Structure formats: C-alpha cells, structure tokens
Amino acid sequence: MENRPDNFTRWHILFEGEVQFVGFRYTARLLAKKLSLTGWVRNLPDGRVEAETQGPVSDLRRFVLQLKSQPHIRITHCAITPIAPDPSERRFSVRDTVE
C-alpha cells in the first residue's frame, strides 16, 4: 500500500458559471499536474463541469482557488462532496463530455 498523508481525500466537484468553451478542462489538468493531484474532469450537457480529484486537502483547496482565479474562467458556484479515494489512480485526465 502506498504511503499517503492522513489528510489525503477525493473530492467530487461540480462547477457552474462560464466554465465551458474557455479551456477549463485543460487548465484543470495543468493545475492538477502542478499540484501532483490525480483524477479527471469533463463537461456536462447542462453547461456545468464535473471533476473528481484527489490528494492532500490543502492541495485540493489550492486547485479550486487557482481555477477560480483564472481570468478566462468565471465560476459562479462550486459544489464539493468528499468521496472515497481511488488508490489505483495515477494521473489526471480530461474525459469526453457526457452525452
């Protein structure tokens, strides 16, 4: 088993606002990589963006704050739900839009 900090968790996040067609998913992937987070991000048909990401809580907070501070992204609401980590996950990916 991998050695993980006690505060290691996974968040399911729904982002609302101007979050599609602004490079959101690729920005999320870049930020996650810089923070050594794993998970995924995808567009939803209703205009929201859905993500699951995992790592230390402090880095997850930093991930969300950095997304909110992007000049080309306007997040009006962000719903975060802690969920069970996925111990097999090794990277952060951009997934296809849910149809």
* Domains, the chain, with CATH or none: 22-86 (3.30.70.100)
Q: Catalytic residue positions?
A: 25, 43
Task: Indicate the burial class of 41 (C-beta count within 10 angstroms; 0-12, 13-18, 19 or more).
Answer: buried
* pLDDT tens, position by position, 46-95: 999 999 999 999 999 999 999 999 999 999 999 999 999 998 999 999 99
For residue 41, what are the CA distances in angstroms to 5, 50, 92?
24, 6, 8
> Among candidates 75, 84, 79, 86, which has minimal Cα distance to 27?
75
In this structure, what are the phi and psi dihedrals at residue 68, rounded to the nearest 5 degrees? -65, -25
Can you give the pLDDT at residue 4?
62
Taking only Cα atoms into account, the Rg of the chain, rounded to an integer number of angstroms, comes to 13
Report whether pLDDT(34) > 70: yes
Whole-model pTM?
0.90
